[in-house]
Amino acid sequence: MNQGGTVAAGRLDTQDADAPAVEFQDLHKRFGAQEVLRGVSLSVPQGETLVVLGRSGTGKSVLLKLIAGLQKPDSGSIHIHGQDVTHLDAAGLNAVRTKIGFLFQDAALYDSMTVEENVAFPLRHHQTQIPDHADRVRELLAFVGMEADRGKLPGEISGGMKKRVGLARALALEPDLLLFDEPTAGLDPITSGEIEQLICKLQKEHHVASIVVTHDLRGARAISHRFALMNAGRIVTTGAFEELEQSTDPFVKQFLRAAS
């Protein structure tokens, strides 16, 4: 881990340098009678931003939760930098999560904590060896443009500002894999563009791998290297946007028409 408190990404200690940032094979997940994921396989190399598209309820957010270890698959495997994390115990999962940043759809800030305290929470919770938490928090808030608001409570800032704080908190432990669940949902076009610029900046400057779940096709085109389109718990197709446009699959054509 970088000891100087920079925004730059860290690395899993047990990682395979040549392995994808994340790879999952034949993932299945069911909630009661509802089969949400039906054999999903995909690989995301380090430095790539993959955007996952699809209709509501098709398993996109569940996929993120499985990668983060917040839920377990019924079957299949998940490898992060070559390490199989599918059956890790609580201590193993806790170690893996320090290298995964998750920006939840609603930012999921603690209402009773200030902006500054929210960003500092992962550093204290995981007892990181970053020597000066205060410097690290100030640096992260400056990166997302929220340093002047560090003493405010979440109820005193806008939705877009909460997303910025959530992103700063997701970066606190220097992750090398970022997961975004609807990062621009409910935001105006200008604020959405600002969040998208931050995602692009992370990829460009720090070679972070990102998986972004979104319904915003315009924004997705601005940040993605590659798309994965899901339907009914399966990945229908992957590729650059131009490749999706050339697809003859009826669902792909229908989805792009509806989303444009």
pLDDT digits (tens, 9 = 90+) for 24-53: 999 999 999 999 999 999 999 999 999 999
Are residues 10 and 175 in contact, defined by beta-carbon separation less than 8 angstroms?
Answer: yes
pLDDT of residue 131: 55
User: Residue 3: is its pLDDT beyond 50?
Assistant: no
Structural domains counted in the chain: 1
Q: Is 16 inside any structural domain?
A: no
User: Residue 168: is its pLDDT beyond 90?
Assistant: yes
CATH number at residue 164: 3.40.50.300
pLDDT of residue 13: 46
Are residues 67 and 78 in contact, defined by beta-carbon separation less than 8 angstroms?
Answer: yes
Tokens 């669940």, residue located: 181
Please, which pLDDT band fits residue 6 given cuts at 50, 70 and 90?
very low
Q: Is the pTM of this model over 0.75?
A: yes
- Which residues constitute the domain of residue 203? 22-259
Q: Is 14 inside any structural domain?
A: no
Q: Is 113 inside any structural domain?
A: yes
CA angle 183, 44, 76 (to 5 degrees): 100
Radius of gyration of the chain (CA): 18
CA 124 – CA 98 distance, rounded (Å)? 12
Q: Is 17 inside any structural domain?
A: no
Q: What is the largest CA-CA distance in the chain?
A: 54
Q: Is 115 inside any structural domain?
A: yes
How many angstroms separate the Cα of 175 from the Cα of each of 47, 75, 170, 246, 247? 12, 26, 8, 35, 34
Phi, psi of 179 (to 5 degrees): -120, 125
pLDDT of residue 205: 83
Q: Is 220 inside any structural domain?
A: yes
Please, which pLDDT band fits residue 8 given cuts at 50, 70 and 90?
very low
Q: What is the pLDDT of residues 211-225, one digit of tens each?
A: 999 988 888 999 999
User: Residue 204: is its pLDDT beyond 60?
Assistant: yes
Q: Is 4 inside any structural domain?
A: no
Report how far Cα 244 is from the mean position of its chain's Cα atoms.
22
Q: Is 5 inside any structural domain?
A: no
CA 141 – CA 171 distance, rounded (Å)? 10
pLDDT of residue 186: 86
pLDDT of residue 64: 94
The pLDDT > 90 percentage for the chain reads: 62
DSSP letters along 88-109, please?
--HHHHHHHHTTEEEE-TT---
